[in-house]
Amino acid sequence: MSPAKKALRKSTSHQPPVIDPYLPRNGNFGYRVSRYELDLEYKVAINRLAGTVTITAVTLAALRTFTLDLSDALSVSKVTVNGRRPGHFRCAAGKLHITLGAALPPGAAMTIAVRYGGTPRPLRTVWGEVGFEELSNGALVAGQPNGAASWFPCDDHPAAKASFHIRISTDSPYYALANGELLSKQVRASHTIWVYEQAEPTSTYLITLQIGEYTRYRLQKSPVPMQAVLPERLRRNFDHDFGRQPQMMKLFIRQFGPYPLATGYTVVVTDDDLEIPLEAQGLSIFGANHCDGRRSSERLIAHELAHQWFGNSVTVRRWRDIWLHEGFACYAEWLWSEESGGPSADERARIYHRKLRDSPHDLLLTDPGPADMFDDRVYKRGALTLHALRGVIGDDNFFALLHDWTARYRHSTAVTDDFTGLAANHAEVSLRALWDRWLYSKDVPDL
């Protein structure tokens, strides 16, 4: 073997294995997390975050060394595993590396406690800045797809779902919102402690923290509890722009199945403008620009609500299948358009089919590549795939399939083959030609 080949073998032999090539540095081996308990303090004026995360996990193999995802902007001061300090820990290249004094056997319970802090900032990614973001008067977390590590140590991959307990202390004028049920709120002179419990298994990127000078109120006449958290100055616009959410909820329950969360649904509107709204488990985050009093963002309101079924409850196991999130949420926009007196789903499909025909035909829906994960063609071609499927199997079978899909994979993960396999149970003809044209070809087929 030549010296060059020997050097190549040496340089690649210590490369860590990759869980998902779309996010090759994310995710960790050797254990499975079942619960995170976050105890945090955030000082708004100086953008300072400090706290402890306690992680409950089980080993999947004999484990001596392991890693957690954590931003380089945060430093770790203490680590314990099962109450003992490990042999060694260090932070490098977006990972917290932990070496135990002695290996744990497969199937061992593992409680990891990490004390950490720093000045959080978004992660710079191919999709822009992702994660914890300081606002003009507060903070938000926009975690998709890999931003969770910007504010707490974790196993940051969508297939790694867990429950969450979040305790956050912040300055008293501010409202602090996290996922799940608000268990308690304690006001102490200069600061307030908020405690939330997210019981349903949730991907780390869907866990969020929203802090601002907000007020909260409940929406009336909704089939599930709905609330809004926003600046008081935007209340009137919100009542108009978001006023049809209860009707959206009724439609989606009818067409997709029961709403998947016991704690209901919350919309946050920040005091700052945001380029795009974003979903989190049980809530969605919009900017002040989406609350203009003209209902100009209603399709996005429907889109984010639909993600509670498609993306948050039924989550992709690997990012290449993101059409299972975005194509479904986009199709929900078209269903709402029809329900609310706008263009029908079929009219919307034909409009976007023409636009897709005029776009470059270089994207494979089931493997668009990381750079094109959030390309609008993924959204629209995904929705068109569903419309084409609906045309082949008929409305009754199509909506029965959606009910079956959201029930079978509720709070779980799935891939494209899971959907196509399930669809075969709701079809009276072979769907192979349809999948070949829409999912596994770059050309845009006839509708």
Residue-level pLDDT at 341:
97
The size of the chain, in residues, is: 447
Calpha distance 298→302 (Å, rounded) = 6
Q: Are residues 277 and 410 in the same domain?
A: no
Q: Starting at the earlier edge strand, list the strands of the sheet with 215-218.
A: 215-218, 226-230, 265-269, 283-286, 278-280
Beta strands in 25-172 (DSSP E): 31-43, 48-59, 63-69, 74-81, 88-92, 95-104, 109-118, 123-125, 128-135, 138-142, 161-171
Q: Are residues 327 and 291 in the same domain?
A: no
Residue-level pLDDT at 3:
39
Q: Are residues 200 and 92 in the same domain?
A: yes
| CATH assignment at residue 243 | 3.30.2010.30
Q: Are residues 57 and 181 in the same domain?
A: yes
Q: Are residues 66 and 194 in the same domain?
A: yes
Question: What is the model's pTM?
Answer: 0.95
Residue-level pLDDT at 15:
64
Q: Are residues 188 and 47 in the same domain?
A: yes
Chain centroid, CA 27 distance in Å: 15
Instruction: Provide the 8-state DSSP code for 371.
Output: G
Q: Are residues 98 and 179 in the same domain?
A: yes
Axis crossing angle, helix 245-256 with helix 298-306, rounded to the nearest 10: 40
What is the tens place of the pLDDT at every residue in 275-290? 999 999 999 999 999 9
**Do 226 and 245 contact (CB within 8 A), yes or no?**
yes
Calpha distance 175→210 (Å, rounded) = 8
Domain span at residue 48 reads: 31-121+138-208
Q: Are residues 400 and 355 in the same domain?
A: yes
Q: Let me know if residue 20 belongs to a domain.
A: no
Contacts of 264 (CB under 8 A, 6+ apart): 224, 225, 226, 227, 282
Q: Let me know if residue 227 belongs to a domain.
A: yes
Residue-level pLDDT at 48:
98
Q: Let me know if residue 126 belongs to a domain.
A: no
Single residue among 281, 308, 335 that ends a domain in this structure: 308
Tell which phi-psi region holds residue 432, choosing left (phi > 0), alpha (psi between -120 and 50) or beta. Answer: alpha
Number of domains within the chain: 3
Question: What does the buried/exposed string (b/e) look like for 22-36 if buried means 16 or more CB atoms within 10 Å of the residue's CB?
Answer: bbeebbbebbebebb
Q: Let me know if residue 14 belongs to a domain.
A: no
Low-confidence ranges of the chain (pLDDT < 50): 1-13
Residue-level pLDDT at 14:
54
| CATH assignment at residue 426 | 1.10.390.10
Q: Let me know if residue 154 belongs to a domain.
A: yes
**Do 87 and 64 contact (CB within 8 A), yes or no?**
no
Q: Let me know if residue 353 belongs to a domain.
A: yes
Q: Are residues 199 and 83 in the same domain?
A: yes
